[in-house]
Amino acid sequence: MALSRQLEQALTRARDLQPVPAGTTASEVVTTTPRARLHHYGNGDGPPLLIIYSLVNRAYILDINAKRSVIATLVAAGLDVYLLDWLYPDSTWRFDTLDDYLGEDIAEATDYLTRDGQPPHVLGVCQGGVLALSFAAAFPEAVRTVTTLVTPVDFHTSDDQLARLARRMDLASLVAATGNVPAATLNALFTSLKPFQLYGQRYLGLADIANDDQALTEFLKLERWMYDSPDQPGAALLQFAREFYQRNRLLTAEIELAGRIIDLAAIRAPVFNAYARDDHLVPAAAAAALGPALAHDDYKAIELPGGHLGMFISSAAHREIYPTLAGWLHER
């Protein structure tokens, strides 16, 4: 009964704390691309840093907590930070492909941020890291450096549960039936990988923070982010699943995007790669495969203890990853 009362108290208080903000750092939209808005943060005087986030979630996980904000940390380090903020797709996007994202949105953003002939640094997160690597391989002259956070490269590692599921799914039939794939469908897929932690344990833990407004607010921010997922353009999702998850073509250099063969060995820019040791979505081995795929040795890798979200919100990440990354970028 005590647990029941505490949970009821926590849920009542959580209702009163709504709505919670989606981000904490001020920005301005400086231009748009066909599928995104380009946000500018801070006033750093160094070369621009373009962040490319995943298509399947919202980018504000990078700025969800004022004390542990990836964006705020990079701005405070003097970097000139920009974020390609993907819009929510409408029904007309169903035929858009990865070629469109690379050849239009990312190409337009990097062109906008090229100063005096000097291209921007590019940072890709998870699926956005795959897009960043693909772009850097296709257009090596258009990026100054490439940073990847929890980004899969080898999609066929033995511990990749998501890849095994993707290889068994009839995604073509799903896309044919839905056009844009509903976000709820993908959320169900992702939560099925850790059902006890995400459906049971997570909510029982509310009892422990029933009287802590700050902790409840942070919980609600993550809840908002977890379920604020956009629908996915059918053609792009099917292409990503087939070419990468099913056929592993990022690693084998057998895919063509935006009119170019995507061969990671073609990347000329220095590369910084950070990944999580216990990541259930992007296993460490899947991310660590990036180093051997490059044709140069200007490569730095850091493995962080913890899981996928810890890369953005853990104290360890903000102590070990982002100061190191900022220094690395300033050197280049």
Top-confidence residue, 209 or 92: 92
The H or E element containing residue 238 is helix 234-240
CA 130 – CA 272 distance, rounded (Å): 14
Tell me the average pLDDT across 63-85. Answer: 94
Name the band, by pLDDT with cuts 50, 70 and 90, for residue 227: confident
Name the band, by pLDDT with cuts 50, 70 and 90, for residue 318: very high
CA 291 – CA 298 distance, rounded (Å): 10
Q: Is the pLDDT at 5 greater than 80, yes or no?
A: yes
Top-confidence residue, 307 or 16: 307
Give the tokens for residue 46. Answer: 């160094």
Q: Is the pLDDT at 314 greater than 80, yes or no?
A: yes
CA 13 – CA 303 distance, rounded (Å): 38
CA 210 – CA 12 distance, rounded (Å): 9
Identity of residue 153: V
Please report, for residues 53, 160, 164, 174, 243, the alpha-carbon distance to residue 169 in angstroms, rounded to integers and kept in the order given.
Answer: 25, 15, 9, 9, 14
Nearest Cα residue to 16 out of 226, 213, 227: 213
Residues 6+ apart with CB under 8 A from 16: none
**What single-letter DSSP state applies at residue 55?**
S
Q: Is the pLDDT at 302 greater than 70, yes or no?
A: yes
CA 144 – CA 50 distance, rounded (Å): 10
- Chain mean pLDDT for the chain: 91
The H or E element containing residue 325 is helix 322-330
Q: Is the pLDDT at 198 greater than 90, yes or no?
A: no
CATH number of 42's domain: 3.40.50.1820
Q: What is the pLDDT of residue 223?
A: 85
Instruction: Note down the domain range covering 152.
Output: 2-330
Q: What is the pLDDT of residue 200?
A: 59
Q: What is the pLDDT of residue 162?
A: 83
Q: Is the pLDDT at 149 greater than 90, yes or no?
A: yes
Q: Which of 52, 102, 126, 183 is catalytic?
A: 126
Q: What is the pLDDT of residue 196?
A: 54
Residues 6+ apart with CB under 8 A from 175: 94, 181, 234, 235, 237, 238
CA 316 – CA 307 distance, rounded (Å): 11
Residues 6+ apart with CB under 8 A from 284: 275, 276, 277, 278, 303
Tell me the average pLDDT across 198-223. Answer: 80
Name the band, by pLDDT with cuts 50, 70 and 90, for residue 197: low
Q: List, in sequence order, every beta strand (DSSP E) within the chain.
A: 28-33, 36-41, 48-52, 80-86, 121-125, 146-149, 256-257, 260-261, 271-276, 299-304
Q: What is the pLDDT of residue 222?
A: 86
Tell me the average pLDDT across 279-306. Answer: 97
Q: Is the pLDDT at 239 greater than 60, yes or no?
A: yes
Please indicate whether residue 126 is annotated as part of the active site. yes
Nearest Cα residue to 250 out of 233, 267, 273: 267
CB 89 within 8 A of CB 54: no
B/e letters for 226-261, b = 16+ CB within 10 Å, e = fewer, are beebbbbbbbbbbbbbbbbbbbbbbbeeebebbebe
Nearest Cα residue to 31 out of 139, 108, 133: 108
Q: Is the pLDDT at 124 greater than 60, yes or no?
A: yes
Q: What is the pLDDT of residue 45?
A: 79
Lowest mean pLDDT across 79-93, 192-206, 312-326: 192-206
What is the tally of structural domains in the chain?
Answer: 1
What pLDDT, in 10s, does the model give residues 25-62? Answer: 999 999 999 999 999 998 877 789 999 999 999 999 99
CA angle 22, 23, 26 (to 5 degrees): 140
